[in-house]
């Protein structure tokens, strides 16, 4: 948002006739003019200050995808919400068909803003939904298929709807998938679960943590996950979903949550991480390996605030199998092709990468985690990648391309916290630490602290220093 001066100020600055009238003022006029000019200066200064605070910013999440521009002063939501948010979670992404089932009748109607275009109808379970022209084709198992020319479909079924075999609470919306450069006219569909955040969170904890872990770990995770989801909720209002149901945001299993995650969410209802009056996005990953990464380094336009800065940590996550990993070797030619293919998929200049001749870590953060990689090829061209881009590029697999098949577990970069050396036709990765981006809470570390007897607030203070816990609603 750009604030512009009011029209009367613009005219006063630009109108020659107005300047002429000011050229020989009376004493009374001079006083009036001085008062007017003083008021204008105050207003202009106020507008300029507002302009400085409204430059385009982006809220990053673990989704690393689309971002929404919002004013900088509103970068993170205030920690005093009026009501519990309803979040929109994409549970099916870009599929040609979506199968809906339920224990009873399924009600399908138009989405918001289309109520006057059609009336809701009931269907027997199960049914299949596909694209049809500019709308949808609905095919019940025991009835005649019908076409509906709507922008979106709203689906309910007595509290729970099963989508492609997974049951979700509340309501499902079906949307046309968004166009991309590679698929400008998609024929695929997205399914989005609209669900109250306190109903959503148990399905996150069920998937993100081991069921045998300490209840205190679940409590800490509930507060971090709620904080992350609320920030994403406000950051992504312009598209038809705010969160993914995968580790691109937070893993989510829908309605099938056990008692432990449900209890942790209920006990912490509305509680969020707060810094300077605003909600902190509670990023987390599996294993930090003894050092945290900065959000501002890991993510595009990540928040540079004390709770999300990196540094050395006590190795509470030493029990993780990925606390240390490597060494292993990769074929230099194949790795070069893989990184170049990743560059093409992201429209990055590294798509032109030739044969790798060196990989150097040119910057580290306060915890000694790599913050920048420079790759040089056989044409002496250099390409700079951030730590997460480097990890994703090295692990990139292109479906349908035999030579870029999925990386095996023994050769996967589990994090960018690793040493790299090119030797002959081999690239060696050694001294690997941790699993994931390393920003915010370390899940294995939180479990280690809980087993040692520490409380949720101590765990969260350790992983989000300078933050505090506050009830947002």
* Residue 459, domain extent: 1-10+42-83+200-321+435-473
Say whether both 257 and 402 belong to one domain: no
Instruction: Say what the pTM is.
Output: 0.82
Structure tokens at 137: 């084709």
Torsion, CA 179, CA 180, CA 183, CA 184, rounded to 10: 60
Q: Distance between CA atoms of 465 and 310, rounded to whole angstroms?
A: 10
- The answer to the question of residue 15 being in a domain is no
Say whether both 397 and 251 belong to one domain: no
Structural domain total, the chain: 3
- The answer to the question of residue 24 being in a domain is no
Say whether both 337 and 245 belong to one domain: no
Task: Point out the residues of the chain with pLDDT beneath 70.
Answer: 1-74, 399-402
Say whether both 212 and 307 belong to one domain: yes
- Chain length of the chain: 473
Q: Distance between CA atoms of 345 and 337, rounded to whole angstroms?
A: 12
- The answer to the question of residue 35 being in a domain is no
Please tell me the predicted confidence (pLDDT) of residue 347. Answer: 92
Say whether both 242 and 355 belong to one domain: no
Say whether both 317 and 233 belong to one domain: yes
Closest among 288, 287, 462 to 365, alpha carbons compared = 288
Structure tokens at 307: 């709770």
Say whether both 251 and 261 belong to one domain: yes
Say whether both 137 and 148 belong to one domain: yes
- The answer to the question of residue 287 being in a domain is yes
- The answer to the question of residue 61 being in a domain is yes
Say whether both 412 and 398 belong to one domain: yes
- The answer to the question of residue 19 being in a domain is no
Please tell me the predicted confidence (pLDDT) of residue 64. Answer: 29
- The answer to the question of residue 91 being in a domain is no
Say whether both 300 and 348 belong to one domain: no
Q: Which of 187, 220, 242 is the last residue of a domain?
A: 187
- The answer to the question of residue 293 being in a domain is yes
pLDDT tens profile 112-140: 888 788 899 999 999 999 999 889 999 99
Q: Which of 157, 187, 217 is the last residue of a domain?
A: 187
Q: Which of 141, 164, 187 is the last residue of a domain?
A: 187
Q: Distance between CA atoms of 446 and 452, rounded to whole angstroms?
A: 10
Say whether both 158 and 289 belong to one domain: no
Say whether both 311 and 334 belong to one domain: no
């Amino acid at each position: 948002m750009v604030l512009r001066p009011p029209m009367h100020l613009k005219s006063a600055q630009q109108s020659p006739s107005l300047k002429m009238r000011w050229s020989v003022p009376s004493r009374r006029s001079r006083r009036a003019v001085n008062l007017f000019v003083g008021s204008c200066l105050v207003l202009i200064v106020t507008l300029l200050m507002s302009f400085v605070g409204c430059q385009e910013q982006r809220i990053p999440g673990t989704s690393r995808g689309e971002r929404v521009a919002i004013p900088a002063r509103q970068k993170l939501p205030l920690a005093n919400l009026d009501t519990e948010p309803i979040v929109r979670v994409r549970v099916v992404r870009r599929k040609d068909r979506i199968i809906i089932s339920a224990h009873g009748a399924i009600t399908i109607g138009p989405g918001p803003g289309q109520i006057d275009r059609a009336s809701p109808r009931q269907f027997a379970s199960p049914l299949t939904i596909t694209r049809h022209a500019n709308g949808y084709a609905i095919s019940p198992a025991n009835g005649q298929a019908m076409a509906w020319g709507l922008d979106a479909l709203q689906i309910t079924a007595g509290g729970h709807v099963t989508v492609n075999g997974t049951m979700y609470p509340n309501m499902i919306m079906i949307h046309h998938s968004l166009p991309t450069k590679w698929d400008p006219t998609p024929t695929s569909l997205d399914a989005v679960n609209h669900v109250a955040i306190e109903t959503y969170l148990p399905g996150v904890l069920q998937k993100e943590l081991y069921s045998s872990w300490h209840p205190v770990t679940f409590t800490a995770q509930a507060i971090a996950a709620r904080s992350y989801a609320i920030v994403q909720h406000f950051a992504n209002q312009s598209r038809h979903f705010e969160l993914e149901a995968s580790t691109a945001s937070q893993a989510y299993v829908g309605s099938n949550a056990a008692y432990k995650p449900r209890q942790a969410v209920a006990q912490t209802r509305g509680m969020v991480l707060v810094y300077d009056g605003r909600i902190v996005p509670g990023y987390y990953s599996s294993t930090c390996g003894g050092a945290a990464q900065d959000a501002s380094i890991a993510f595009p336009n990540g928040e540079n605030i004390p709770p999300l800065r990196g540094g050395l940590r006590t190795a509470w996550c030493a029990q993780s199998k990925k606390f240390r990993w490597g060494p292993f070797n990769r074929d230099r030619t194949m790795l070069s092709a893989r990184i170049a293919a990743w560059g093409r998929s992201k429209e990055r200049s590294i798509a032109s990468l030739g044969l790798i001749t060196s990989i150097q870590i040119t910057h580290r953060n306060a915890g000694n985690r790599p913050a920048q990689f420079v790759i040089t090829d056989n044409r002496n061209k250099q390409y700079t990648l951030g730590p997460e881009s480097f990890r994703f590029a090295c692990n990139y697999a292109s479906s349908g391309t035999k030579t870029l098949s999925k990386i095996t577990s023994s050769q996967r970069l589990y994090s960018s916290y690793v040493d790299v050396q090119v030797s002959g036709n081999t690239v060696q990765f050694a001294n690997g630490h941790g699993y994931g981006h390393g920003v915010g809470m370390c899940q294995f570390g939180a479990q280690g602290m809980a087993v040692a007897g520490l409380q949720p607030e101590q765990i969260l203070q350790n992983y989000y220093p300078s933050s505090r816990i506050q009830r947002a609603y």
